Amino acid sequence: MAGERGMGTLLHARGGRVWLALHRPFAAAGTALLAPALLLALWELAARRGWLDPLFFPPPSAVARTWWRLAREGVLLHDVRVSLARLLAGFALGAAPAVALGMAMGLWRPVRVALLPLVTALYPIPRIAVLPLVLVLFGIGERGKLFMIAFSVFFLMLLETLAGVRRIEPVYLDVARSLRASRWKQYRSVAWPGALPAVCTGARLALGFALIVIVGTEFLAASNGVGARIWRAYQVLDIETLYAGLATTALMGWGLTLLVSAVERVALPWQHGG
């Protein structure tokens, strides 16, 4: 009898752990959505009660209707597709050489000593300050937009990669050198795995920054894309469409964060319990 009670207690405890494991992601999602839902509810109430000027703060329900109309018409999806294509292409153009150069600067002191002052000087330049020069050099075509994104993510990715390589325990590199590993072998077998967490962190930050840059660039130098739609809505005081564009930008940023998190779970399983 005591054994049966003990077995029943064990099964109950295991069942409880399984239930918690299955429901924890949903509970976390519910908690994460609580604050935005509360904010939107208060905004809706304030707009309907007249506490906020509905011209500048339309009810979220009205913004949602406008967003759904634009989505049904297909124009919103087209804008998102255009902006994301620019963002991802520019990110690839800037991130690939940045990671390679950051690894080289981290591994070899002469490269670091030669280039770090230049990188340190160029990194703080406000990206918006470069836009007039980019427009002069490339015009308002796609090349200028891609350059703006690539320039914006390059230094962030380079510095994160450099920091990741510099955080590697020197003993690992010493062992590789003592085994007469080639520079490529050191790069591939020691530096890259050691720097990968920092590269993923840099990608997360750089993609968010790239989204800001592409939307801002589309304000002034594009006829399509999410930024261009927001700017046109501002020009004609179509506030509901303006808010719909801002909401779309937020959703794009959230989606990019989820994308990087998914890549991290595959590339860094040891950091996610894999």
| C-alpha closest to that of 89 among 146, 131, 134 | 146
89 and 189 belong to one structural domain: yes
91, 206: one domain: yes
Do 2 and 77 lie in one domain? The reply is no
Distance CA 143, CA 137 (A): 10
The pLDDT tens digits of the residues spanning 173-205 come to 778 778 777 777 777 777 788 888 899 999 999
| CA 218/CA 225 separation, integer angstroms | 7
Would you give the end-to-end CA distance of the chain in angstroms?
A: 40
pTM, full prediction = 0.80
Q: From CA 105, how far away is CA 60, in angstroms rounded?
A: 49
Domain that holds residue 1: 1-57
In angstroms, rounded to a whole number, what is the distance separating the alpha carbons of residues 203 and 69?
33
Q: Are residues 173 and 96 in the same domain?
A: yes
In the chain, the largest separation of any two C-alpha atoms, in whole Å, equals 87
Question: Residues 133, 181: one domain?
Answer: yes
- The count of domains in the chain is 2
- Which residue, among 111, 109, 266, 113, has the nearest Cα to 196 in the 3D structure? 266
pLDDT digits (tens, 9 = 90+) for 10-28: 445 445 554 444 455 455 5
